[in-house]
């Protein structure tokens, strides 16, 4: 049995065994949906932009995928501290396979978390324009999940301290999320913010998912979103694998 499949399956088992983790991870998306979705709904409508919950829901789904994907890298530090990583590394398999197994496992968990939040958005009133675009939406979720899982693995490969990893990740992903257009439209944003958003990979994931769900309102175009995310995912996956191969256990 391939080590990629074994590590992928291990990640899924850990996820499904922790019911409290699954339920707890829905708290933040629910808070954003209720506080922002309904709190700013009247202001958004008065501005002539329509239903804010419809605009917000794709961003909150991607937020859940982002956080789950990046923090999956903490498993590497955990495994290193408790010796499991060393046992894995001495197995007669390449480190690339080990990294891919962990990356795909973490990305799958992030996608499942995104699906759960999608169901949550439906419960509070979000309605996609066409169910036929769900496969396209899933493509963007998968790309974002793999991209940021690879980033998490790359960072974890450079660090040994769990608390330090959490601080660095929070420092990185909070601006990535808030400046991605998940909470506000990027059309008409100040020049400096527009430049930052264009170098933020999360912007293309949110933009692509919003287009897939709502059928319009894309800032960059769905083709651009797909090309940029595919390229960045490939780069981060390669970078993560290179850093993981050099990890010291």
Other beta carbons within 10 Å of 92: 5
Q: Does 104 score more than 80 pLDDT?
A: yes
CA distances, 183 to each of 36, 53, 58, 188, 245 (Å): 8, 10, 10, 14, 37
Q: Please list, in sequence order, all residues whose beta carbon lies within 8 angstroms of the beta carbon of residue 225, skipping any fewer than 6 positions away.
A: 140, 204, 205, 207, 208, 211, 218
For the chain, give the mean pLDDT. 85
Lowest-confidence segment of 14-18, 85-89, 113-117 by average pLDDT: 85-89
3-state secondary structure 95-151: HHHHHHHHHHHHHHHHHHHHHHHHHHHHHHCCCCCCHHHHHHHHHHHHHHHHHHHHH
At residue 94, the 3 state secondary structure works out as coil
> Is pLDDT at 9 greater than 60 in this prediction?
yes
Summarize pLDDT for 69-90 with one digit per residue, the tens.
Answer: 998 888 888 877 776 777 666 6
Share of the chain above pLDDT 70, in %: 92
Mean pLDDT of 102-126: 91
Q: Is 121 exposed, middle or buried (0-12, 13-18, 19+ CB in 10 A)?
A: buried
d(CA 209, CA 7): 28
Asked whether residue 110 carries a pLDDT value surpassing 90, the answer given is yes
Angle between helices 95-124 and 134-157 (to 10 degrees): 130
Q: Which of 72-81, 134-143, 176-185 has the highest mean pLDDT?
A: 134-143
- Residue 184 banded pLDDT, cuts 50, 70, 90: confident
Q: What is the pLDDT of residue 25?
A: 77
Answer for the pair 4, 100: CB distance below 8 angstroms, yes or no.
yes
- Alpha carbons within 13 A on the beta-carbon side of 87: 6
């Amino acid at each position: 049995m391939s080590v990629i499949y074994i590590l992928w399956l291990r990640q899924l088992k850990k996820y499904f065994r922790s019911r409290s983790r699954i339920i707890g991870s829905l708290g933040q998306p629910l808070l954003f949906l209720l506080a922002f979705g309904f709190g700013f709904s009247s202001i958004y409508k008065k501005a002539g932009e329509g239903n804010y919950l419809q605009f917000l829901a794709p961003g909150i789904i991607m937020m859940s995928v982002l956080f789950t994907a990046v923090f999956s890298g903490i498993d590497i530090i955990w495994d290193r501290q408790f010796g499991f990583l060393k046992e894995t590394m001495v197995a007669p398999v390449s480190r690339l396979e080990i990294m891919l197994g962990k990356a795909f496992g973490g990305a799958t968990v992030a996608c499942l978390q995104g699906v759960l939040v999608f169901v949550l958005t439906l419960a509070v009133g979000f309605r996609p324009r066409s169910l036929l675009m769900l496969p396209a939406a899933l493509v963007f979720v998968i790309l974002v999940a793999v991209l940021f899982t690879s980033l998490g693995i790359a960072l974890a490969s450079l660090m040994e301290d769990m608390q330090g990893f959490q601080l660095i990740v929070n420092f990185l992903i909070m601006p990535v999320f808030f400046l991605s257009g998940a909470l506000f439209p990027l059309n008409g944003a100040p020049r400096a913010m527009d430049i930052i958003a264009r170098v933020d990979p999360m912007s293309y994931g949110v933009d692509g998912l919003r287009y897939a769900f709502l059928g319009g309102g894309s800032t960059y175009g769905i083709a651009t979103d797909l090309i940029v995310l595919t390229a960045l995912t490939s780069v981060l996956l390669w970078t993560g694998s290179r850093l993981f191969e050099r990890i010291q256990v």
